[in-house]
Amino acid sequence: MRTTVGIVGAGPAGLLLARLLHTAGIDSVVLESRDRAYVEHRQRAGILEQGTVDVLRAAGAGERMDREGLRHDGIELRFDRTRHRIDFPALTGGRSVMVHAQTEVCKDLIALQLKEGHPLLFEAEALAVEDATTARPRVRYRHEGRDAVLECDYVAGCDGFWGIARRAIPERLGRTFERSYPYAWLGILADVPPSHEELVYARHDRGFALLSMRSPSVSRLYLQVPEGTDPDDWSDDAVWTELERRFETDDGWRLERGPVTQKSVTPMRSFVHEPMRHGRLFLAGDAAHIVPPTGAKGLNLAVGDVVTLARALIHRRDTGSDQLLDAYSATCLRRVWQAERFSHDMTALLHRTPDAAPFEDRLQLARLARLTSSRAAMTDLAECYTGFPLG
Ligand SMILES: Cc1cc2nc3c(=O)[nH]c(=O)nc-3n(C[C@H](O)[C@H](O)[C@H](O)COP(=O)(O)OP(=O)(O)OC[C@H]3O[C@@H](n4cnc5c(N)ncnc54)[C@H](O)[C@@H]3O)c2cc1C
């Protein structure tokens, strides 16, 4: 098989890239190792920055998001049993975020791709990217029990942190930057309306907790737990009791309980691979970088990368110039490092390290007090949370 852009991975990065290229008249083939149901139901991110919302609308994939997504104009920070709201539009000149699950974004992008008859192969596992530094890079893959080759002009490695694309970059030509954290998130999905209309980020001496949502009738809640925690060690009742403790306030706020439909543990990691390009192979999304989820940036970074890549490929087609392709890695990394910084700072601000000294606890509370009383500090948070400029 032959195509202009071979895309490895049908997560948000690969699917949106295929869509952006298609609307510009550039053909691509998407290879995805898992089946469609798995990709459509994998619970992950849920906060779309303003820029991501705009891109999905412009790509013709925003109709259901606009109908079912929940516009959020702020978040609540909770510590010392008190509540503090950060008002995004008031601090940023009108920007907000959209709560709309990654699963739903992927479902819509898959439906569009298949409806218009563009190649998206499920259960097609890429085995290797070869000849990346030549004019004819190739992806070797296995589909329906047979080995095959996808010949391309360009390859987009959108295959997530555990994918194979990054391995095509020789170690001596790349550099990785990494931080792991001594805690993880135990997340539940529950069939109960969210107890608060906006996300609540709670710092507590027992650890961090987050109240989030997927829809007006489905809550998504997280607890900081030690790394390596087995979700089965937590009964539903124990999760709710711990959430109640960490969200408790002096004003009588109550957390509504409901049936838990899913429980999982997410490790926390910061990771960046530089550069994000090797010859005609371009890494995008989690294949190139990971952020801890505290800043809600993972999905949005993936969108930023593929917008930059699509723009560069269109520029190449229209002008014959490689200028934007050559700038791809540096352009993306500027935004990536801002998101890494913000995600790391939010994580450090709100989580309690297992061996935290009392002095560090006091500093953390002083930082939160400053953040919720200074307009300059709140503006910085609001600007970062609602998103860094694309491209
Ligand atoms: C468990 C979990 C929870 C998360 N929660 C949040 C959150 O609450 N908030 C937030 O902002 N972010 C969250 N994230 C991060 C966010 O979901 C990711 O940043 C986002 O999915 C990145 O999209 P992507 O397309 O780059 O990668 P992915 O979504 O990982 O997609 C990569 C795709 O490539 C496929 N693939 C892998 N290897 C191959 C191969 N060899 N051949 C073909 N296909 C392959 C995979 O099956 C997958 O479909 C979470 C991530 C994880 C793992």
pLDDT of 239-268, one tens digit each?
A: 999 999 999 999 989 999 999 999 999 999
Mean pLDDT estimate for the chain: 96
**What φ, ψ does residue 61 adopt, rounded to 5°?**
-115, 25
- Residue closest to 383 by CA, chosen among 45, 391, 375, 56: 375
What confidence tens digit (pLDDT) does each residue in 155-200 have?
A: 999 999 999 999 999 999 999 999 999 999 999 999 999 999 999 9
Q: Is 9 touching ligand 1 by the criterion CB < 6 Å? A: yes
Q: Which of 100, 99, 121, 101 is nearest to 110 (CA)?
A: 121
Name the active-site residue from 154, 183, 201, 222: 201
pLDDT, tens only, 344-356: 999 999 999 988 9
- Has residue 20 got a pLDDT over 80? yes
Residue with tokens 């195509």: 3
pLDDT digits (tens, 9 = 90+) for 57-114: 999 999 999 999 999 999 999 999 999 999 999 999 999 999 999 999 999 999 999 9
Percent of the chain with pLDDT over 70: 100
pLDDT at 76: 98
Domain 2-72+98-178+269-348, second-level architecture: 3-Layer(bba) Sandwich (3.50)
Q: How confident is the model at residue 117 (pLDDT cuts 50, 70, 90)?
A: confident
Q: What's the rounded Cα separation, in Å, for the pair 150 and 345?
A: 41
Report the predicted TM-score, pTM, of the whole model to 2 decimal places.
0.95
Distance 115 CA to ligand 1 centre (A): 23
Residue 391: band (very low, low, confident or very high) from pLDDT cuts 50, 70, 90: low
Q: Is 201 a catalytic residue?
A: yes
Q: What is the pLDDT of residue 43?
A: 82
pLDDT of residue 388: 80
Structure token digits, residue 8: 């490895």
Q: Return the structure tokens found at 3.
A: 């195509």
Q: Do residues 308 and 332 lie in contact, with contact meaning Cβ atoms separated by under 8 Å?
A: yes
Query: Residues 204, 278, 297, 351: which is the catalytic one?
Result: 297
What does the alpha-carbon distance between residue 150 and residue 163 come to, in Å, rounded to a whole number? 17
Backbone Cα Rg of the chain = 21
CATH topology of domain 181-267+354-386: D-Amino Acid Oxidase; Chain A, domain 2 (3.30.9)
Q: What are the structural domain ranges in the chain? A: 2-72+98-178+269-348, 181-267+354-386
Q: Sign of the CA dihedral 242, 198, 341, 65?
A: positive
